[in-house]
Every structure is written in structure tokens, then in C-alpha cells.
Amino acid sequence: MESLDLRVLADALAWKRAGRAVSLVTVVQTWGSAPRPPGALLAVREDGVVSGSVSGGCIEDDLIVRAKAALATGRQDPAAAKPELIVYGVNKDEAARFGLPCGGTLRLVQEPLTDANWIEQLLARTAEHRLVARTLDLATGQVTLADTVRGQSMSFDDQHLTTVFGPKWRLLLIGAGQLSQAVAQMAGLLDFEVLVCDPREEYAATLGLEGVQRVPGMPDDVVREMLPDAHTAIVALTHDPKLDDMALLEALKSAAFYVGALGSRRNQEVRKQRLAEHFDLSAEELARLHGPVGLDIGARTPAEIAVSVLAEIVQVKNAASRRVLNAPGCITA
């Protein structure tokens, strides 16, 4: 579940609260080279304004026309406002007409948003870093929510559609220096929730980035108290072992999907030796440490290093997401 889709739900909720009619469209199954994965969401307002994407632009125009017609029908006859299954690209001619690559096929569920209370509940739960399974009954349009665990994939049996919504990806940076600020700015553009911890007031005082939350306290305490989950990345960027090492000690024992630290290859070897000798870290836990942090792109400036750091984080994040999508029961076909 991408945080982009949580934004789609937030937009749909805001429109519904404003008294607008809204239709939700969900990708439920793909064949061939489909641009968006199962679970991707599109919200269409009664006037054709959209949020999100289900095909990267291939079929959105046609879906807007369909959704506006369905919403108009629902206003005239509320009993007719029921979810429906839509299929695009059933043959090569139709795939070519809609611009679906490589003869791709999409199955979608379009539903009128008659009750938005479930969206409010879902967004509140994901804000608490909980995983939520949402089940839609296509016959009645009824929606139910239930807590779930990481690894559950989307399911669709032509009668019930269950999609999993996860918390927003978050990034904790240890250190508030120039490099951390560059990483924080770029991470915000990638839709990460960004947190920065630096007990050194002379550095933290310069942190004034919109959307970036400063977390007070010592780094190891902050890591421990935030309960890092599989949607969390932690990067130590202070170059101060007293701050970095204690944070890494907690991070490497956590469920964080990515743990990295700034420093040369030599410094990383010394760091791993120090952590192994003085702290209770196993070889497997130490092997989780990404260092030198970032992809090797020959970066020199803070901005270039920030690009390399975030590129590696995104690479690891997307690899983990693909493993979940390719797990048994996922219907990517």
C-alpha cells in the first residue's frame, strides 16, 4: 500500500465532507505490463476532478466519463449506486486504443462513496502505524475494516474486495546538519514522514524545514520509543560515534526496513567491530547496516550525497514491497 493512496483517500474524504459526490476506483487485477499495481486508487469527483491514478494516464479520461455518469445515476436513484467491475484491454485492439503497454489488461472496481466514515477511521488507524484491511462487498457496497499483519496481500473473488492499507513510510535522521537537511527536503518530496533527532542545540537550532518534525531527546532513546516498524528507515549522519552508535544499536535490533550510517568503508569496518565488541549485536544484525550509506554515484556535495542516500532507501523499500506483492495470494498475474 503506497502512502500516495492514503492521500487519495484523504482527498476523497475532504470532497465528501464538502458535500460533493465521489467515486473510488481500485485496480484489482492486472495482466501484462500494467503501469499501476493492484490496490492503486483513483478518486473522481462529480465534476471530473481526480486524485490518484490507476493506469498512469492511459484510461483515466474514460474512467472520468464513466464515474460522472455513475454518480449522476446514483443521485437520481440511490438504490442503483452500487460497485461495479470494469475491464480494460480485453483484446489487443482495445489495449492499443487506451494506450495500455504490451497488450496489458486491467480489472477495476468502481464504487460510489456513499459513506466516508470508514475513510476517517482508516486514516486514523494508519496514522498510528497500524495495518488495516478494508473489505468491500460488491453486492451491497458495505465496507468493513479490520487490523491485519504485514504480508497480507490484496484479494478479490468477484464478490468481495479486500485491500490492505499501511502507514506512511517514515524516515528518522540522526543529526540536523547540512546533509541531514538536504536528505530531509528530498525525502519530503518522496512522501516520507521525516523526523530529525539531534540533541546538539547548535545544529538543531538551524532546522526549520516545513513538514520536518524535530524529535527531542538522545538518539537511542528516540529510536527505542518510536518503535520502528517495517515502514521505517533510520540513518545516522552526525559522524559522532557517541550519537550514531547508540542509535544504530537500537535500530539494528528493530524491525526498521533500512538502517544506514555515514562514513567511509574504513570507518564502517571500525564501527562494526566496535559494535560487535562492546554491544550485544549478532553478525546478522550487523549485516543489516548499510555503510557507507547510499548508492555509489560518485557523490560529493551534500545534495548529491542526499540523492545517493535516498536512492538506496527507495531501492530497499521497493524491493521489500515487491516481495509482498509477489507473495502467495497476490493477484498481479
> Is residue 146 very low, low, confident or very high in pLDDT (cuts 50, 70, 90)?
very high
Q: Which of 181, 137, 176 is nearest to 159 (CA)?
A: 137
> Is residue 77 very low, low, confident or very high in pLDDT (cuts 50, 70, 90)?
low
> Is residue 119 very low, low, confident or very high in pLDDT (cuts 50, 70, 90)?
very high
Q: What is the mean pLDDT of residues 54-78?
A: 75
Place of cell 523499500: 317
Task: Tell me how far CA of residue 317 lies from CA of 131, 176, 181, 195, 324, in angstroms.
Answer: 17, 23, 21, 18, 11
Task: Tell me how far CA of residue 295 lies from CA of 247, 258, 262, 306, 308, in angstroms.
Answer: 22, 13, 12, 10, 5
130 pLDDT above the threshold of 70: yes
98 pLDDT above the threshold of 80: no
Report the alpha-carbon distance of residue 95 to residue 163 in Å, rounded.
26
Place of cell 544499536: 249
DSSP 243-277: HHHHHHHHHHTS--SEEEE-S-HHHHHHHHHHHHH
**Average pLDDT of the chain?**
85
Q: What is the mean pLDDT of residues 235-247?
A: 91
Single pTM value for the model? 0.72
Least confident segment among 63-72, 161-170, 248-257 = 63-72
CB 250 within 8 A of CB 275: no
3-state helix, strand, coil in the chain (%, to 5): 40, 20, 35
Tell me the H-state helices in 102-232. Answer: 117-127, 178-189, 201-204, 219-226
Q: Tell me, what's the pLDDT at 30?
A: 76
Least confident segment among 3-17, 44-58, 109-123, 154-168 = 44-58
Residue range 170-320 forms a domain whose CATH class is alpha beta
More confident residue, 99 or 51: 51
Share of residues in the chain with pLDDT > 90 (%): 51
pLDDT digits (tens, 9 = 90+) for 168-193: 889 999 999 999 999 999 999 898 99
Q: Which of 238, 284, 230, 236 is nearest to 256 (CA)?
A: 230
241 pLDDT above the threshold of 80: yes
1 pLDDT above the threshold of 60: no
Q: Tell me, what's the pLDDT at 204?
A: 75
Task: Tell me how far CA of residue 176 lies from CA of 132, 165, 182, in angstroms.
Answer: 33, 31, 10
Residues of each domain in the chain carrying CATH 3.40.50.720: 170-320
> Is residue 235 very low, low, confident or very high in pLDDT (cuts 50, 70, 90)?
very high
pLDDT digits (tens, 9 = 90+) for 6-28: 899 999 999 999 999 999 999 99
